[in-house]
Structure 1
Amino acid sequence: MEKEHKPVTIKDIARIAGVSHSTVSRSLNNSSLISQATKQRIQKIAKELNFVFDSSARSLSTGRTGSVAVIFPELFDYFGNSLYMGMLIQGVRHGFDRFSIDSIATFAKNEYTGESNIRRLISRRKIDGLLIVHPEIDPGDWEYIEKSGIPFVVLHFKPRSYDYSHMNYLFTDHVYGGELATRRLIESGCRKILCLSEDSVEPQFQERTDGYKRALAEAGIPFDARLVKKGMVSFEFGYRTILEMQDRLHEIDGIFAEADLVAIGCIEALKGLSVSIPGDIPVIGYDDTELGAVFHPPLTTIHQPREEHAGLACARLVELIEGAGDPPMQLIVKPQLIERESCP
């Protein structure tokens, strides 16, 4: 009788290569955190062992489904939020495709019945793991997830009502992002900077505003609460704010909009008022969406490392599914300034 071969796992590749599980997963996901030489060596080992293409056999032998669930926020339905989220989720899809894993995209709850989609997927054993991209999972669902023992990773949103200090997570340093944008405006000579934020309890927008305040303080510029406006993440919010301030535009000399779509609304209103961008008022956005790159003038913005985040989150979830026992991966990545034409 022919000897049965066990499926190759990340642990096997790590043992052969003499590296950690994390290094293998990140190498297979082409992460920039791993040197090119190490990635090439590990990818060569994986290819020789047929790791990528043996997922169906692996699923049969282990009893796994070969699928994971990606839990979206309900705000994904709104255009302003979906611009960035759409790009993030695209990165997630590509990340799981690298490992030949299917992803089931869903909201936390069924919008018609109110039933927990998370509990349903876990209890029916439809998935091997969860990628949580949601700011407000019900505490009862969090408890259910942890009691079930199913592997999970938290991406982008910090849980608002549950302790995540022990979890695997990847977030952006939004305080640094807000500071980076504001500092760039100050370097351009701005001193009276309008800050447009989201009117919500979502921590990332408060963090961006905190970064704005920090940059002002570092430059010795007094904080003026009247220059912070809050509203929806929408083109209309930016456009309407400028129109409402048109008789007081002399009171500002720069704009930091905490979302690209808001920044674009500001620019469109300013152009309608014959205000030059960046000549009269420089504008900086946040998120680095494709729309900002093709708008006129092209938008200077803050780039969240969504591709890196998505890839690392997917790779870490695969590690956990494969049984990796490393300490939790807890990364807070700094965003980058993307220089275009809306700020000199």
Structure 2
Amino acid sequence: MATMKDIAKLAGVSTSTVSHVINKTRFVSDEIAERVNTAAKELKYYAPSALARSLKISRTNTFGMIVTTSTNPFFGEVVKGVERSCYLAGYNLILCNTEGDAKRMKASIETLMQKRVDGFILMCSTLEGEYTEVLERLSSVPVVVMDWGPISLPCDKIQDNSLRGGYLATKHLIEKGHREIGCITGPLIKHQAKMRYEGFKRAMKEAQLPIKSQWIVEGDFECEGGYQALEQFQTNGTMPSAIFAGNDMMAMGLINAAQAHGISVPDDLSIMGYDDIHIAKYMSPSLSTVHQPKYRLGKAAVDALIQRINHKDSERQIVELEPAVVERCSVAQYVVA
């Protein structure tokens, strides 16, 4: 019966490289992987099943990721970073959507536990502050939480600095000469929405500008929330000259509503978003926004989980990636008439 050593000799590589290719424990170039697989086929080598390997080494080389379904492309772009990073590190990924449902979250966790995943990546902001019982179920496995508010579960965290992001977005509008600035927040029960709003208030206070209640609208992080917000601004009276929307989806809805009401962006109304999703630069006008390093968020989560698996007793880490303003065409320099 052929061995990995025989394959290594025929393929002209090391035995460890053969092991990585067959067990998918590390990224190997396509050219070398093809040589190894061709040699294995010629020698009629049969690799042990994944189940047999997992029983032997007590690992499945599989991560479970639980996310809340959303129309927001932000989630998909982060998941892409997670998937790619898992592949390069030799891990498989099982993705589960909760749709904001606690029962589905519990069922997903139970399913993934039965499949003996090596660790969990959680990105379920709609469940923050709730379902302690669900989170306690995860106390026996490595967990990394992404983009979530304060929770009691001891775990590593990957997040953007939403407070600074909201501050930078508002400061950009102020630097463009705007003094009458409104804000469409996300649902303020969510930590990231609250922090972005706090950043908005900090920049306004620093510039000694009034925060008018009629220019603050709580949205839903979806396009519809941004669209409906414009009508609420109009109902409340005089419009501000600029609005900071707590994410790009609401900014897109706001731009659409403005165009439907004959309001020119940015000539009549400047709009600032948050997230820098891929389609933001292809809108009309292209959206000025705050960039979140979405691929890096995903990669950082995978790196942290692997680190936790290999060093279980190391200190818990919080990785905070810094936002940056991306200036495009939806914000105009304000000129006093």
State the TM-score, normalized to the length of structure 2.
Answer: 0.77
1:110 Cα deviation after fit: 8.1
Question: In structure 2, how many angstroms separate the alpha carbons of the residues matched to 1:114 and 1:264?
Answer: 30
1:157 Cα deviation after fit: 1.6
Matched, 1:289 2:277: yes
**Is there any run of 5+ residues in structure 2 with no aligned partner, and where?**
6-13, 27-49, 333-337
Provide closer, same or farther for how the CA distance between residues 110 and 4 of structure 1 changes in structure 2, counting only shifts above 3 A: farther
Count of residues in correspondence between the two structures: 291
Question: In structure 2, how many angstroms separate the alpha carbons of the residues matched to 1:110 and 1:264?
Answer: 27
Question: In structure 2, how many angstroms separate the alpha carbons of the residues matched to 1:275 and 1:268?
Answer: 10
Matched, 1:55 2:44: no
Match of 2:253 in 1: 265
RMSD over equivalenced CA pairs, Å: 2.9
CA contact (8 A) 1:110 1:117 kept: no
SS of corresponding position for 1:207: helix
Provide closer, same or farther for how the CA distance between residues 195 and 54 of structure 1 changes in structure 2, counting only shifts above 3 A: same
Structure having greater relative contact order (Cα 8 Å, sep ≥ 6): 1
Question: In structure 1, how many angstroms separate the alpha carbons of the residues matched to 2:197 and 2:183?
Answer: 8
2:138 aligns with one of 125, 130, 145: 145
Matched, 1:215 2:210: no
Matched, 1:331 2:326: no
Match of 1:178 in 2: 166
Question: In structure 2, how many angstroms separate the alpha carbons of the residues matched to 1:99 and 1:189?
Answer: 47
CA contact (8 A) 2:118 2:142 kept: yes
Could you give the per-residue CA deviations for residues 27-53 of structure 1, whole angstroms, max 9, x where no partner exists?
xxxxxxxxxxxxxxxxxxxx9953853
Q: Structure 1 vs Structure 2: percent identity of aligned residues?
A: 25
Match of 2:306 in 1: 318
CA contact (8 A) 1:284 1:301 kept: yes
Provide closer, same or farther for how the CA distance between residues 321 and 289 of structure 1 changes in structure 2, counting only shifts above 3 A: same
1:275 Cα deviation after fit: 2.8
CA contact (8 A) 2:85 2:298 kept: yes
Provide closer, same or farther for how the CA distance between residues 112 and 68 of structure 1 changes in structure 2, counting only shifts above 3 A: same
Provide closer, same or farther for how the CA distance between residues 85 and 4 of structure 1 changes in structure 2, counting only shifts above 3 A: closer
Could you give the per-residue CA deviations for residues 109-167 of structure 1, whole angstroms, max 9, x where no partner exists?
98887853213422x24311111112326211222211x2x1121112225xx325x42
Provide closer, same or farther for how the CA distance between residues 320 and 53 of structure 1 changes in structure 2, counting only shifts above 3 A: farther
Question: In structure 2, how many angstroms separate the alpha carbons of the residues matched to 1:153 and 1:134?
Answer: 12
State the TM-score, normalized to the length of structure 1.
Answer: 0.76
Provide closer, same or farther for how the CA distance between residues 340 and 199 of structure 1 changes in structure 2, counting only shifts above 3 A: same
Question: In structure 2, how many angstroms separate the alpha carbons of the residues matched to 1:49 and 1:249?
Answer: 70
Match of 1:155 in 2: 146
Question: In structure 1, how many angstroms separate the alpha carbons of the residues matched to 2:293 and 2:21?
Answer: 28
Computing the radius of gyration from Cα coordinates, the structure with the larger value is: 2
1:190 Cα deviation after fit: 0.8
Higher mean displacement: 104-113 or 332-341? 104-113
Provide closer, same or farther for how the CA distance between residues 88 and 193 of structure 1 changes in structure 2, counting only shifts above 3 A: same
SS of corresponding position for 1:195: strand
Question: In structure 2, how many angstroms separate the alpha carbons of the residues matched to 1:49 and 1:225?
Answer: 64
Letter of the 2:131 counterpart: D
SS of corresponding position for 1:145: coil
SS of corresponding position for 1:186: helix
CA contact (8 A) 1:92 1:314 kept: yes
1:292 Cα deviation after fit: 1.6
1:314 Cα deviation after fit: 0.4
Question: In structure 1, how many angstroms separate the alpha carbons of the residues matched to 2:20 and 2:328?
Answer: 39
1:178 Cα deviation after fit: 0.5
1:134 aligns with one of 124, 131, 155: 124
Match of 1:89 in 2: 79
Provide closer, same or farther for how the CA distance between residues 56 and 242 of structure 1 changes in structure 2, counting only shifts above 3 A: closer
CA contact (8 A) 2:214 2:236 kept: no
Letter of the 2:261 counterpart: L
SS of corresponding position for 2:201: helix
Match of 1:104 in 2: 94
SS of corresponding position for 1:130: strand
Matched, 1:191 2:176: no
Question: In structure 1, how many angstroms separate the alpha carbons of the residues matched to 2:89 and 2:209?
Answer: 50
Match of 1:119 in 2: 110
Match of 1:169 in 2: 157
CA contact (8 A) 1:192 1:253 kept: yes
Question: In structure 2, how many angstroms separate the alpha carbons of the residues matched to 1:293 and 1:141?
Answer: 39
Alignment map for 1:211-250 (pairs within 5 Å): 211-246=199-234, 250=238
Match of 2:34 in 1: none
